[in-house]
Amino acid sequence: KASLYMDAQALYDLFRSRQSDRHYDTTRAISREVLQRIVENALLAPSATNQQPWQIVVVDTPDLSQKVASAARSGMLGQNKFLLQAPVHILIIGDRPGALAATMGKTFRDINYVPYDLGILIAHLVLAVEAEGLGSCIVGWLNGRKVAKVLGIPKTKKVLFDISVGYSLDSKRPKKRKKPEDCIHYNGW
């Protein structure tokens, strides 16, 4: 009988390998099957009271990808030029929290859980991208209104993130992180 658990080190290696990639091979298309697998598995992410306050739009055709990239960059002071070469854009749209999550979060903790839930979803998504041998970059500095207009997303929805995806041309870089002993505390501060 096969174990449901993977080798923990393989997961930790995936954490170490994932980085923000900004150079993509524009000659290599990503199959719809791979994209579907990535997104479906990312949707397994947990959320407060299981509200799943998100919608995802995957853009994988070259012409529309260019339009989305141009819209995302519109009015952003020339930032994120690399989006123009990304073959795929995975747009994250945040929903309003459901009644239970909104009531419980606001009443008992004074917290809107949607941003946290979206962060968990995005973490699952970019790790799935990495597991498939692709690169990604999480972009939150974008013109979500223009992207929504290009894609016909209702005005009641808000495009919050563009995850660019492609076969990365970037070399793996060492991670610059705080020392664990500066961040981890056991049994008190």
Rounded to whole angstroms, how far apart are CA atoms 42 and 75? 30
| Spatial contact of 63 and 91, defined as CB atoms under 8 Å apart | no
Backbone dihedral region of 22: left (phi > 0), alpha (psi from -120 to 50 degrees) or beta? alpha
Answer whether residue 81 shows pLDDT above 80.
yes
Return the pLDDT at 58. Answer: 98
Tell me the pLDDT tens digit for each residue of 97-118.
Answer: 667 666 776 677 788 888 999 9
Rounded to whole angstroms, how far apart are CA atoms 146 and 143? 6
For residue 65, give the nearest of 157, 159, 166 by alpha carbon: 166
Element of type H or E holding 124: helix 114-131
Tell me the pLDDT tens digit for each residue of 29-50.
Answer: 999 999 999 999 999 999 988 9
Return the pLDDT at 97. Answer: 65
Place of tokens 């049994």: 187
- 114 or 96: whose pLDDT is higher? 114
Return the pLDDT at 102. Answer: 67
Tell me the pLDDT tens digit for each residue of 132-146.
Answer: 999 999 999 999 999
